[in-house]
Amino acid sequence: MGKMFGTDGVRGIANTELTAQVAFDIGRSAAYVLGKRSKRPVFVIGMDTRISGDMLENALTAGILSIGGNVLKLGVIPTPAVAYLVKYFKADAGVVISASHNPFEYNGIKFFNSDGFKLDDNIEGEIEDVIFNGIREEKVLIGGDIGRCLDAEEDAIKIYTDFLLSTIDIRLDGLNVVLDCANGASYRTAKIVFESLGANLTILSDEPNGVNINENCGSTHTKNIQKKVVEVSADIGLSFDGDADRLIVIDDKGRIVDGDYILSICAKKLKDDGELNENRITASVMSNIGLHKKMEEYDIKVDTTKVGDKYILESMLKTGSVLGGEQSGHMIFLNYATAGDGVMSALQFLKANIASGKKVSEQRDEVIIYPQVLINAKVDNKNKDIVTSDKEISEQIKIIEEKIGNTGRVLIRPSGTEPLVRVMLEGEDIKMLEELAVGLATSIELKFNKA
């Protein structure tokens, strides 16, 4: 059996790797698999602003309808909105057509189950099996057995933005806020929410044209919003990615406040309010040691997982943690939502900030984030998983750990998608870290980048 689904659905360059035929096959196979559980499964479909979205939406829809499923098209809407609306409309699954923070020529397809959580790996495996091996005992549906597109009786964007507003119990009157919508899925919803709360808005990158999503804007390209925050003397900047499930904050001095800062600030607020279940949060192995040290100060436990919001959520569901996230800005507030949500994360951050009575820059300065150096070492795919157990590499890592002491750490992580091993060093002396990281990456390449 082949492999299509990664840690966040199926992704590739639209119309070459992710073609209309592939989308049709995914829709058809998903409807068949879910049709075994529900005779006529209902799918809600949302997408970001990429030009390829219409093509893939229609192909995916055709595949679902051909096997007897029904489709409710939500149009351009954030990924977390689909996670919420699949429950609201009592659908069997939600589908998002998006490649998140990637350039416009990419696109992707990812699924949520009826509870708004990302689809279980086993069900994705069943869908892949049908795609590659065909439908057993297939019969062509005709007449009334074919599925149809349904009309929503309510405005999906209003339902979703009303939900977001229900998660915050304060007003933002007089607060000067800069928004960067990445020319993506939040270009309407973010404005609605923050205008409703009374914020004074300056909005960047809210004119999508199909090809400008994430183009020098959004959570992965923050120079514009950093400059604008300083220029207009804003209190805060809020930058989302293309499908609006990430948040990067910009403080009043124009500095980046990434996911580690956001986790720290929100964790303290939740603990102070008695809402941090078991006094624990969840972060990936790439989280900065500064976050861990701050959480020790607050007597909050940090559970660490593999990189990916999917793994963050899996751990949270097992441990009872209600707050998790990554440096990239994926934040999950499980008391409110089943998926990362950039706008919701912004609201929760603002609640924490306003309650503190401090400027965002003052809260940022309370968390000491240590320098990190990340270098990719090229390694043959068959050798990726044995690097960390190699005796010579392990000895070199021990020497490095002794040099950087207890104010830093070394992390070696095989890439899940590329022939690379990621070498990450963290500590106080950036020059020393760079030298040590280059030396370790070179050793790994010399020994393991062989056919």
Tens of pLDDT, residue by residue over 37-56, are 777 899 999 999 999 999 99
Quote the pLDDT of residue 170.
96
- pTM of the predicted model as reported, rounded to 2 decimal places: 0.90
For the chain, where do the domains classified as CATH 3.30.310.50 start and end?
Answer: 372-448
Contact assessment for residue 67 and residue 148, using Cβ atoms and an 8 Å cutoff: no
Q: 3-class DSSP state for residue 347?
A: helix
- The one-character DSSP state at 232 is T
For the chain, where do the domains classified as CATH 3.40.120.10 start and end?
Answer: 10-153, 159-365
Quote the pLDDT of residue 1.
39
Contact assessment for residue 112 and residue 119, using Cβ atoms and an 8 Å cutoff: yes
Multiple choice CATH, 159-365, 3.40.120.10, 2.60.120.260, 3.30.300.30, 3.40.50.150: 3.40.120.10
- The one-character DSSP state at 242 is T
Tens of pLDDT, residue by residue over 276-304, are 999 999 999 889 999 999 999 999 999 99
Quote the pLDDT of residue 152.
83
Quote the pLDDT of residue 145.
84
d(CA 172, CA 159): 21
d(CA 381, CA 451): 9
Q: Which fold has domain 372-448?
A: TATA-Binding Protein (3.30.310)
Quote the pLDDT of residue 144.
85
- Residue 113: its H or E element: strand 106-113
Tens-level pLDDT at each residue, the chain (451 residues): 357 777 678 899 999 999 999 999 999 999 999 887 777 899 999 999 999 999 999 999 999 999 999 999 999 999 999 999 999 999 999 999 999 999 999 999 999 999 999 888 888 888 988 888 887 766 778 888 899 999 887 899 999 999 999 999 999 999 999 999 999 999 999 999 999 999 999 999 999 999 999 999 999 999 999 999 999 999 999 999 999 999 999 999 999 999 999 999 999 999 999 999 999 999 998 899 999 999 999 999 999 998 888 899 999 999 999 999 999 999 999 999 999 999 999 999 999 999 999 999 999 999 999 998 999 999 887 888 888 888 999 999 999 999 988 778 898 888 766 788 999 999 988 999 999 999 999 999 998 876 5
Q: So what CATH class is 10-153?
A: alpha beta
d(CA 442, CA 448): 10
Reported residue count of the chain is 451
Q: Give the type of residue at 43.
A: F
Active-site residue identified among 29, 98, 100, 328: 100
Contact assessment for residue 326 and residue 283, using Cβ atoms and an 8 Å cutoff: yes
Angle among Cα 172, 174, 177 to the nearest 5 degrees reads 70
| E-only strand ranges, 346-407 | 372-378
Quote the pLDDT of residue 387.
87
Instruction: Confirm whether 328 is a catalytic residue.
Output: no
DSSP structure string for 35-56: HTTSSS-EEEEEE-S-TTHHHH
Name every residue whose Cβ is closer than 8 Å to that of residue 280 and which is 6 or more positions away in sequence: 300, 301, 302, 303, 319, 320, 321
28 conformational bin, left if phi > 0, alpha if psi -120 to 50, beta if neither: alpha
